Amino acid sequence: MANLLSIGFSLTEALKFMSETDQQVSQGVGTIIASLKSGHEFSESVRPLIEVQAYHQILIAEKHGQLSEILSELAKFDRLRLKQLKKIKAMLVYPFFLCLILGMLILMIRLYVFPQIQELMPSVDPHHQVSGWSKMLRMIPIPILACLIGSVVYWSRQDAIRQAQLIVKLPFIGKLIRKYIAYYLASNLATLLRNGLSVKEIHATLMEFKSGSLIHLLGEKIHTTLLEGCSLKRLVDRHNFIPTEIVKFMSSGNTIPEMANSMTAYSRLMFDEMIVATDKMIGFIQPAMFIVIGLTIISTYFQLLIPIYNSVKGMY
């Protein structure tokens, strides 16, 4: 759609063209067209079909005449996400088949090899010899499950700001989420600043977003901080997921167009860093899977060989 708008199509014409040429999206596009005919704004029409973050970006862009640019940016982000998901799926195919073969091997050992050992060495009971290990392994999922349930309950009771503060502290994915939040905030602020909005006007715009969303709550925090006569740096100190660079740009004393350019450049930098971070994470998936498979193979061999070793040792 962004390409169609950039070459001169109106919004309605672009939607009709998409409906006629792409059967995969025709139903969703038809819903959007019907909603537009009913008098709704484009952002409200697409709201049920997209994520909350994308809706907020479209809402800002629509109000300030930058819909084509934001749609292009969202399309670029979505293409990246699909590309990375394809990479993950491709990398998981080989480990998945290894896990499948390993599972069948373990099943065959338990069904056929252990009974054979008992017949050849009646004094050996494989299940008895490893009963301590088996009990311990069976108990492990219980505390893990309890921790997961407790974490989900605790998470659901927190507001969006607290959730963001928690998730950026997580190992492995925390840095990636931090970069995404930085990209999301900088991109939205760049759109607002490009249209000459002051800090007060930005706050008023953020207050129009869905109550309880991250960007709405941040708008409230900004308003409270300014009313207290505090600097925005204090807001960053309280919330570790807000990039210090954004506050530096806002407090730089530059003109609004210059701040907008800085925000745009920073959002693009964060987008590029997200690509690098996701590539690194994908690179760790296969080695991690192979480590798990290797540990499973070793534990299976121990289950098989320890009873035999104990029996042979008892003969001497």
Q: What pLDDT is recorded for position 137?
A: 60
pLDDT at residue 248 is higher than 80: yes
Tens of pLDDT, residues 273-284: 988 888 888 888
Predicted local confidence at residue 132, as pLDDT: 55
Q: Which of 231, 242, 267 is nearest to 69 (CA)?
A: 267
Residue 180 reports pLDDT greater than 70: yes
User: How would you write the chain as a 3-class SS string?
Assistant: CHHHHHCCCCHHHHHHHHHHHCCCCHHHHHHHHHHHHCCCCHHHHHHHHCCHHHHHHHHHHHHCCCHHHHHHHHHHHHHHHHHHHHHHHHHHHHHHHHHHHHHHHHHHHHHHHHHHHHHHCCCCCHHHHCHHHHHHHHHCHHHHHHHHHHHHHHHHCCCHHHHHHHHCCCCCCHHHHHHHHHHHHHHHHHHHHHCCCCHHHHHHHHCCCCCCCHHHHHHHHHHHHHHCCCCHHHHHHHCCCCCHHHHHHHCCCCCHHHHHHHHHHHHHHHHHHHHHHHHHHHHHHHHHHHHHHHHHHHHHHHHHHHHHHHHHHHHC
> Is the pLDDT reported for residue 18 higher than 60?
yes
Residues 6+ apart with CB under 8 A from 87: 282
Q: Which of 121-125, 148-152, 242-246 has the weakest average pLDDT?
A: 121-125
**How confident is residue 264, by pLDDT bands cut at 50, 70 and 90?**
confident
> Is pLDDT above 80 for 129?
no
pLDDT of residue 266: 92
Q: What is the CA radius of gyration of the chain?
A: 28
- Provide the pLDDT for residue 269: 92
What does the pLDDT look like over 26-84, one tens digit per residue? 788 888 888 888 888 888 888 888 887 788 778 877 777 777 888 887 888 888 888 88
Lowest mean pLDDT among 35-44, 114-123, 193-202: 114-123
> According to the model, what pLDDT value does residue 149 have?
92
Residue 164 has pLDDT above 70, yes or no: yes
Q: What is the pLDDT of residue 102?
A: 82
Mean local confidence (pLDDT), 139-155: 85
Q: Which two tokens stand for residue 171?
A: 């190992």
